[in-house]
Structure 1
Amino acid sequence: MSKETITNIKIEKASTSKINEVDFSNLAFGNVFTDHMFVCDYENGAWQEPQITPYQKISLDPSARVFHYGQAVFEGMKAYKDEQDDIWLFRPKENFERINKSAARLAMPEFPEDFFFEGLNTLLKLEKDWIKKGFGNSLYIRPFVIATESGVSASPANKYKFMIICSPAQSYYGGEVRVKIADHYSRAASGGFGFAKAAGNYAGQFYPTSIANKEGFQQIIWTDANTHEYLEEAGTMNIFFRIGDKLITCPISDRILDGVTRKSVIAMAKDLDIDVDIRPIKVTEVIEAANNGSLKEIFGSGTAAVINPIAGFGFKGDTWELPKIENSFASKIKQAIMDIQYNISEDKFGWRVKV
């Protein structure tokens, strides 16, 4: 392995690459990782020297507090390559700000902006060959922070590890997706940390989602914890409903993730002259719209899938199928966003950032 230093990041390059072992035409999401990773430790009240090393296992004490008290937050981002071999990020500052917002809610130290972007850009330049051209291809980027201090006293840790790992990706979901509207289990409660991308928020979804899977649904649309009357999120995505020609999504709160793609969908829909309504939406309103034929679309939005159409939904034992329509809002908005991500169209919003 060779070592070199670029600015203040210590780089240790992998002696050989794994890239030739990868079938890029047949990728399962999040199972293959690139040759390098970014690492920076927090101790003695400060972030230490950042470094990039070969992708490898890490060693933690069994009493590391991440295992016992769940101090772990993460982000999801993507890098794209255009036909000129230039690499682009999509609204990366939103992800940087949100991981620090998540960290602060879990009493974890915020990460410096210059470390984040210098580390990310340096890592992506090293891994440029892993970012494949072609619409739909991308490099999924996973920044995360975990508590590493040993000891099982119930208090915030004094040591943390910030890391960025990368995984080549195609589309996240395959096939038709049907969702179950929650009427018992909850994802988050008011005053909690549902707005944070904290590991525990996702762990708490797995059991009720597994029950829904056995009933023939791929995901859950979560409802408010107090009454289960209002629709909030869908699995790992923010959720949108098209009733008539109006696109409706619920407002964010301390229960709901402030999705980067969600904000982009709202802005793009307005730019496409689609009427967008951001307001609370009741389960009964969606069922009534499904029954009278005015419910045209439901789709989720998120970094991995961008937009994922939903084919049908269930609630308390009843099921509804959505119509198959051409020129859907979902397809129009997704195409417009991806055209920006892949440097195909003009970016009037200033979302696209060159690496």
Structure 2
Amino acid sequence: MNTTLSIEINKTKSSKLPQTNFDDLKFGQTISDHMFVADYENGEWGNFRIEPYAPLQLNPANATLHYGQSVFEGMKAYKNENGEALIFRADANQKRLNESAKRMCIPEVPEHIFMEGLTQLLEVDKAWIPNKPGCSLYIRPFVFATDDYLGIRPSDKYKFMIFTCPVGNYYSKPVSVKVECEYTRAAEGGTGFAKAAGNYAGSLYPALQAQKQGYDQLLWTDGKSHQHIEESGTMNVMFMINDTLITAPTTTGTILKGITRDSVLTLAREMGVNIEERFLRVTELEDALRSGTLIEAFGTGTAATIAHIAKIHINGNDYELPQKDNSAFSNIILETLDGIKYGRLEDKHNWIIKI
């Protein structure tokens, strides 16, 4: 990897760190001191800098505000027992950002720009990585159009940025979910596989209706028939039916290629778990809930890591899932992933980048 990127660093004169309560971290609400910024003009990325986190000044005609040309990623950094900063699978996030960017007509961010911007930003803000168990530094890279132009065409100018925020758990308890059979999150040929901002905007209204009914999230179904489970609003989903782990495939282009999803499947295969990457029919899920053959269900994602599902609503009926002890597959996987991320277990897959 090229290591000659010239990044201008302008550190804040007034850090927010002393006033930050690391015992009360609400996800995404506490932002670290600095951000990495790069600009795309005349066909290339340049003007690399790390500067104090601050609001942006945008023209009202900014292309992203009107046409939604924006993609983002999410990853985390951790501290091991020696106080070293560890980033989990940042190379996979970089590749996925560019897959999303290509679909949205956004120029790709070269690996050396992504990785050097990220690592230098974390070196500057390393003190923001929490030391508490279960806490981490959430990292948000994103790219958006910056042309000031009203017209349907790809922008000529873009901005790539990274900022970070110390976080605790995304979900503080097991979640309840509702199977969504009316609204559609993604359709084949669309942008469902991309981490495009508009995908999330379109999902807000159905999710809000479910929350008003007492559910934390939706289980989205396919846009054609609404007969197959795809993913949840904030995570991929997995179901253990009898001794088989079932999760939707990512080959249709309607489901995000989750990095935590891939990590769980990799570890599960090493454990000898039966895995089926296929669409689970809604009727099959309901039959498994009624018969008790659904052993557990959980979500996988960067923010949530492993989110246990406690209740599933299907066609007017609520089905409760029993609480799981430490011997449950999802808890074993969670402990293993955390062990790798915090440097307590051997990293056999070279998933960790040490700063």
Q: Please indicate the TM-score interval, normalised by the length of the shorter structure.
A: over 0.9
Contact 1:141/1:165 (CA < 8 Å) preserved in 2?
A: yes
Report the Cα distance in structure 1 between the residues aligned to 2:46 and 2:346, rounded to whole angstroms: 39
1:151 aligns with 2:140: no
Aligned residue runs from structure 1 range 108-123, under 5 A: 108-123=106-121
Report the Cα distance in structure 1 between the residues aligned to 2:266 and 2:46, rounded to whole angstroms: 38
Residue 229 of structure 1 and its aligned partner are, at CA, apart by 0.5
Report the Cα distance in structure 2 between the residues aligned to 1:43 and 1:236, rounded to whole angstroms: 33
Contact 1:82/1:134 (CA < 8 Å) preserved in 2?
A: no
Instruction: Work out the percentage of aligned pairs sharing the same amino acid.
Output: 46
Equivalent position of 1:217 in the other structure: 215
Equivalent position of 1:260 in the other structure: 259
Report the Cα distance in structure 1 between the residues aligned to 2:316 and 2:95, rounded to whole angstroms: 41
Equivalent position of 2:77 in the other structure: 79
Tell me how many residue pairs correspond in the alignment: 350
Task: Give me the TM-score of the superposition, normalised by structure 2.
Answer: 0.97
Equivalent position of 2:352 in the other structure: 352
Aligned residue runs from structure 1 range 297-316, under 5 A: 297-316=296-315
Contact 1:239/1:299 (CA < 8 Å) preserved in 2?
A: yes
RMSD (Å) for aligned C-alpha atoms: 1.0
Report the Cα distance in structure 1 between the residues aligned to 2:191 and 2:226, rounded to whole angstroms: 18
Report the Cα distance in structure 2 between the residues aligned to 1:332 and 1:186, rounded to whole angstroms: 33
1:133 aligns with 2:116: no
Write the letter of the residue equivalent to 1:349: H
Contact 1:179/1:312 (CA < 8 Å) preserved in 2?
A: yes
1:242 aligns with 2:240: yes
| C-alpha distance after superposition, 1:165-212 (max 9, x if no partner) | 100011111223100001100100000010000000111111000000
Report the Cα distance in structure 1 between the residues aligned to 2:5 and 2:351, rounded to whole angstroms: 27
Write the letter of the residue equivalent to 1:72: S
Task: Please list every run of 5 or more consecutive structure 2 residues that lacks an aligned counterpart in the other structure.
Answer: none
Residue 7 of structure 1 and its aligned partner are, at CA, apart by 5.0
Report the Cα distance in structure 2 between the residues aligned to 1:295 and 1:278, rounded to whole angstroms: 16
Equivalent position of 2:285 in the other structure: 286
Equivalent position of 2:15 in the other structure: 17
Task: Give me the TM-score of the superposition, normalised by structure 1.
Answer: 0.97
Equivalent position of 2:202 in the other structure: 204
| C-alpha distance after superposition, 1:34-82 (max 9, x if no partner) | 1100000111111112110010111110000000100010000100000
Write the letter of the residue equivalent to 1:342: Y
Contact 2:35/2:53 (CA < 8 Å) preserved in 1?
A: yes
Task: Please list every run of 5 or more consecutive structure 1 residues that lacks an aligned counterpart in the other structure.
Answer: 1-5
Report the Cα distance in structure 2 between the residues aligned to 1:334 and 1:343, rounded to whole angstroms: 14
Equivalent position of 1:3 in the other structure: none
Write the letter of the residue equivalent to 2:307: N
Write the letter of the residue equivalent to 1:131: I
Equivalent position of 2:275 in the other structure: 276
Residue 324 of structure 1 and its aligned partner are, at CA, apart by 2.0
Equivalent position of 2:333 in the other structure: 333
| C-alpha distance after superposition, 1:104-127 (max 9, x if no partner) | 100010011111111100000110
Aligned residue runs from structure 1 range 154-173, under 5 A: 154-173=152-171
Write the letter of the residue equivalent to 2:304: A
Report the Cα distance in structure 2 between the residues aligned to 1:152 and 1:218, rounded to whole angstroms: 38
Equivalent position of 2:56 in the other structure: 58
Report the Cα distance in structure 1 between the residues aligned to 2:306 and 2:338, rounded to whole angstroms: 10
Write the letter of the residue equivalent to 1:303: T
Structure 1 segments of 4+ aligned residues over 4 angstroms from their partners: none
Equivalent position of 1:38 in the other structure: 36
Write the letter of the residue equivalent to 2:273: I
Report the Cα distance in structure 1 between the residues aligned to 2:349 and 2:48, rounded to whole angstroms: 32
Q: Secondary structure at the match of 2:140?
A: strand
Report the Cα distance in structure 2 between the residues aligned to 1:47 and 1:68, rounded to whole angstroms: 23
